[in-house]
Structure 1
Amino acid sequence: MSDTQKPWNSPMPEPQFDLMRRILAAPSPVGLEAAMTYGVLKPHFEGFAPDSWQLHQFKGHAGVVLDTHPGRDDLFKVMIIGHADKIRMQVRSIGEDGKIWINSDSFLPNVVIGHEVTLFSEDPEAPGSYRRIEGGTVEALGAIHFSDPAQRSGEKGIKKEQLYLELQIHGENKKQQVENLGVRPGDSILLDRPIRHGFSPDTFYGAYLDNGLGCFVTAEVARLIAEAGGTEKVRVMFAIASYEEIGRFGSRVLAGELEPDAIIAVDVNHDYVAAPGIGDRRMQPLEMGKGFTMSVGAIASEQLNRIIETTAREQGIPMQRDIVGVDTGTDGMAGVLAAVDCVATSIGFPIRNMHTISETGYTRDVLAAIHAITHTVQALDALPDPHREFLDHHPRLDHAGALGHQGSDKPETGQDKQ
């Protein structure tokens, strides 16, 4: 395959970009993920999955799993996990002046001020039926004129308790006007910002790349595996989890139910090179535009990582190593949290402005992740015995060879050429 034929070296085709945009647009706050899983991904899966594949559904959450070999517990089971839940704000209380006081959840209070949102409210008269209210904005001070000098200078920030939803309520009985809409504490609020192409080539931006992107990658890997004729020795479970943003709870249930032998989590990562103000922290130089990322450390399996890295090198797919310390911070932890013996790692792509309304990504990094995971699954399927591969080949540092000084010449490696 020439460089020009490698998808990760070309712009993302517009139909594929449109699928990514539709997945990311689905209103799926924590606990209400079905808009993405059942509204977008389930019909998408059904459009290409062979008849022998099965979609698993669950009672306690709206996660779904597309299974290539249902019931075949004898096969080596690989679970690829994206999570459908979005960070959401919630109604906290309603003031006499018509202000709807809200929780900011995992958003910094200052990044949501002034932005348009949609409030999703269950109809009190028809439980299970939801309505949406558009046209509101998140506010805190109302105007600079009402802030104290420390806030004007930047010495003092906005507290999360100051946030409220402005619905332009006026006139008499302002609180009653809001209550007449059926708005209640606990109602979910999402930022209203669609995904758009960015100014720079192959970039895009908008709200909630975390983690509709992981779901998009998981779905595209499923499609490519189906188009390639499936797998023989490996049972692949393409999982779309819930509850990640509140503690990786959904994925640990999926792992506990289906007991995978390997987990590959797919989630966004940080562009540390572009992140302002963290240079003195000496973070690893992950950078948007340099390929997908692979977690090293925590519970990440060196054996699984070796197969991913070898496969990426053989295919010429650009890759970056991400140091994760004691916790991957992703659904890669699902196996150990569910007490399931499995190898695991986490794949990502550097984005900027995470947990803001203007998250920014690079389509070629996303394509690199899609094809790296696809080729990794195929490499696992080509092993003589995937079970024994991981049982018998744990790295032995007591077998490490001595390494001497290598000189100062910079070698021209395949990785450098990419």
Structure 2
Amino acid sequence: MSDTPKPWTDPMPDPQFDLMRRILAAPSPVGLEGAMTYGVLKPHFEGFAPGDWQLQQFKGHAGVVLDTHPGRDDLFKVMIIGHADKIRMQVRSIGEDGKIWINTDSFLPTTLLGHEVKLFSEDPAAPGQYRVIEGGTVEALGAIHFSDPSVRDGSKGLKKEQMYLDLQIHGENKKQQVLNLGVRPGDAILLNRPIRPGFSPDTFYGAYLDNGLGCFVTAEVARLIAEAGGTEQVRVLFAIASYEEIGRFGSRVLAGELRPDAIIAVDVNHDYVAAPGIGDRRMQPLEMGKGFTMSVGAIASEQLNRIIETTAREQGIPMQRDIVGPDTGTDGMAGVLAAVDCAATSIGFPIRNMHTISETGYTKDVLAAIHAITHTVRALDGLSDPHREFLDHHPRLDQAGPLGHQGADTPEEQK
């Protein structure tokens, strides 16, 4: 969608932003990912995929995989994974006063207070059919006038058990009014905040950047590879997974079924520079606006990272190294969790306020990730033998050369 030689340096074109917004808007809570995978991404894939590519579907979940070379198990298989599931709240019980008590899942309770939501209720009389209720808000305390002094002054916070959905029910038989709607324990609730351009240039904000953004990046890499004529030595599996937010179960199944040789997970990351109150933790200074991130540590393959970093440097794509410790925290773990021998890493983009209604990102970081992955796929396709490349070139620290003091002058490229 951009004709410039370095599109990650330009504002995101409006049609591309609209695609991102449509993907992020799809109501796809954990276990109900079909709105994003089947409602938005499947028709999008079918709109540009060459005739010999194949879209794979699955029985146990709504994940999809766009396969560039179906059946070609002899080729080096690269799986690029975004996850479609969104963290959600769920109905826990219904009170006599009409309050709908909820589970808050992976949300910090205090970030939910007062926000509008959508409740998706399965019709008890027609299982499998869903209705949506809008206009409710998440509450816990009511008016400040009824709050304990320790809550008023901030010395005491909220417990997840205090959170409820208020549908403004009043009058007689309040609980029955809710029951008559067919609302039942387990019904999913999502924050109601669409994606909008932010105040600062090239920014955007809203709910659920985690992880519709990874799905958007995966889809855009697929489009760019298709427009470039595909690949010859590499079979690319553009995967949209489910169940990531409850343990990365969907991508684990995809890896077990398709057995990729390499996995590149695409997921949001943190802007540690802007995160409040963590200065004393001395985190790696990842920052929104400084490019995509690449995981180092855990199971991240140094060989795959070498190719990504070399490619980004050659193309002039800004990159930040993310230190992940024992676990990437993303679908990059899918291969080892599924007991599949594959190189893997995780690509991301720093955002602010993760798991809130006001997640914030920077479009040029997202574009940087799209083009870094696209060029990496092309670099892998250009290897004489991708299989042997990864079998034979594991780093050898026993062959490390000596390094002496380099002086105090700042290199020109860093000034």
TM band (smaller chain): over 0.9
Aligned-partner residue type, residue 250 of structure 1: G
- RMSD between aligned alpha carbons? 0.8
2:34 matched to which residue of 1? 34
Q: Can you list the C-alpha shifts for 1:77-107, whole angstroms capped at 9, x where unaligned? A: 0000000000000000000000000000000
Matches within 5 A, 1:4-403: 5-403=5-403
Query: Alpha-carbon deviation of 1:54?
Result: 0.4
Aligned-partner residue type, residue 11 of structure 1: P
Gaps of 5+ in 1: none
Query: Alpha-carbon deviation of 1:292?
Result: 0.1
**SS of 2:16 mapped into structure 1:** helix
Query: Alpha-carbon deviation of 1:145?
Result: 1.1
Aligned equivalents of 1:5 and 1:379: distance in 2? 17
Q: Can you list the C-alpha shifts for 1:244-293, whole angstroms capped at 9, x where unaligned? A: 00000000000000000000000000000000100000000000000000
Aligned-partner residue type, residue 88 of structure 1: R
Query: Alpha-carbon deviation of 1:122?
Result: 0.3
Aligned equivalents of 1:63 and 1:146: distance in 2? 46
Q: Can you list the C-alpha shifts for 1:159-208, whole angstroms capped at 9, x where unaligned? A: 00000000000000000000000000000000000000000000000000
Aligned-partner residue type, residue 31 of structure 2: G
Q: Can you list the C-alpha shifts for 1:312-355, whole angstroms capped at 9, x where unaligned? A: 00000000000000000000000000000000000000000000
Aligned-partner residue type, residue 221 of structure 1: V
Aligned equivalents of 2:354 and 2:221: distance in 1? 24
Query: Alpha-carbon deviation of 1:146?
Result: 1.3
Aligned-partner residue type, residue 164 of structure 1: Y
Aligned-partner residue type, residue 366 of structure 1: V
**SS of 2:275 mapped into structure 1:** coil
% same residue: 90
Aligned equivalents of 1:115 and 1:411: distance in 2? 49
Aligned equivalents of 1:89 and 1:264: distance in 2? 29
Aligned equivalents of 2:154 and 2:113: distance in 1? 15
Aligned equivalents of 2:250 and 2:353: distance in 1? 25
Aligned equivalents of 1:87 and 1:182: distance in 2? 23
Aligned equivalents of 1:263 and 1:4: distance in 2? 29
**SS of 2:333 mapped into structure 1:** helix
Aligned equivalents of 2:143 and 2:232: distance in 1? 63
Aligned-partner residue type, residue 215 of structure 1: C
Aligned-partner residue type, residue 205 of structure 2: Y
Aligned equivalents of 2:273 and 2:390: distance in 1? 35
Query: Alpha-carbon deviation of 1:5?
Result: 3.3
Aligned-partner residue type, residue 125 of structure 1: A
Q: TM-score, normalised by structure 1?
A: 0.98
**SS of 2:18 mapped into structure 1:** helix
Give 4+ residue runs of structure 1 displaced > 2 Å after superposition.
none
Q: Can you list the C-alpha shifts for 1:339-386, whole angstroms capped at 9, x where unaligned? A: 000000000000000000000000000000000000000000000000
Aligned equivalents of 1:72 and 1:235: distance in 2? 7
Aligned equivalents of 1:240 and 1:366: distance in 2? 17
Query: Alpha-carbon deviation of 1:4?
Result: 6.0
Aligned equivalents of 1:4 and 1:138: distance in 2? 45
Aligned equivalents of 2:4 and 2:339: distance in 1? 44
Gaps of 5+ in 2: none
Query: Alpha-carbon deviation of 1:213?
Result: 0.1
Aligned equivalents of 1:112 and 1:41: distance in 2? 29
**SS of 1:5 mapped into structure 2:** coil
**SS of 1:312 mapped into structure 2:** helix
Aligned equivalents of 2:240 and 2:190: distance in 1? 20
Structure 1 pair 64–117 and aligned structure 2 pair: CA distance change class (3 A): same
Aligned-partner residue type, residue 56 of structure 1: Q
**SS of 1:79 mapped into structure 2:** strand
**SS of 2:216 mapped into structure 1:** helix
Q: TM-score, normalised by structure 2?
A: 0.99
**SS of 2:412 mapped into structure 1:** coil
